[in-house]
Amino acid sequence: MNTRTKVIVTRRLPEPVQDRLNTLFDARLNLSDKPMPHAELIEAAANCDVLAPTVTDHIDDKVIRAGAGRLKLIANFGAGTDHIDLDTAAKAGIAVTNTPGVLTEDTADLAMALILAVPRRLAEGARVMRAGDFPGWSPTWMMGHSIGGKKLGIVGMGRIGQAIARRARAFGLEIHYHNRNRVSAAIEEELGALWWDDLDAMLANTDIISVNCPKTPQTHHLLSRDRLSKLPHHAFLVNTSRGDVIDEIALADLLENGSLAGAGLDVYEREPEVEPRLLMLDSVVALPHMGSSTIEARIAMGEKMIINIKEFEDGHRPPDRVIQELT
């Protein structure tokens, strides 16, 4: 009789992670890498000890209730848990873990790349070259904007926001931030960061906005049409957090009519669908949700996930347990 912990993984993971899962557990892997339909997620939850989902899986109350009795742990591959019904999991006595911290530097690198790419029109220039439309150097052709001395407004000053601030400061940007709670005086001093209690006021006084807050009911459309309209017309917006923090239709409208200078986007409100106008505008650099898409980060995520499973299996508290208060 197989007494090993049965783990069902919903997407294909890097090979070293899958090899490790097979060694340690009775692992069922998704080698096709196609998202599981909801009915398959329900079946999986009912037939495993540990479910290892990703951001593409909607782990709602139906999935969790199907697992009640056998399912003991939802070991998420990723830091965000907004796709998991944490309340229902807590009431069912099912623990939830995530993989925080290991994505910080790679996501900050990508955000900084977009902060550079959008004002300097790098993606637009690359498209010109690929199309064979380069007419030769000209003093006034393909002029962008420098970023040194500009004001960067960071919305969400957690790990990633702070990592972006460190990079941006090295490029000569002034650091401004809005956060639910003010960071420590030591961090503000290190980053040369100015806190704004009023998000609307910060938006009106910055040149580049970097969005780095988590998805919660409170942050849905945090940057609404009204708030986006407060940005100066010369401002650029970068989002590497969650798509629905921004009203995507409103963003497209403002970019299309010239009320915003440009945007760098790695996440979208209705992924994998994207507002078509955002893909047509030269002022937009659109990436396919690749903020943490490095070999190193994805393997580190897998290692964290495995540690959480192993610690839980051994009767210990997983280091990355997500705490949800029962209501």
* Active-site annotation, residues: 242, 271, 289
| Rounded Cα–Cα distance for residues 249 and 243 (Å) | 11
Residue type present at position 161: G
Contacts of 202 (CB under 8 A, 6+ apart): 153, 176, 177, 178, 196
Number of H helices, E strands in the chain: 13, 12
Contacts of 4 (CB under 8 A, 6+ apart): 25, 26
Q: Is 314 helix (H, G, I), strand (E, B) or coil?
A: coil
The count of other CB atoms within 10 Å of the CB of residue 288 is 11
| Rounded Cα–Cα distance for residues 268 and 249 (Å) | 11
Sign of the Cα torsion 110, 106, 177, 287 reads: positive
| Rounded Cα–Cα distance for residues 149 and 160 (Å) | 22
Say if strands 26-28 and 151-155 run parallel, antiparallel, or are unpaired: unpaired
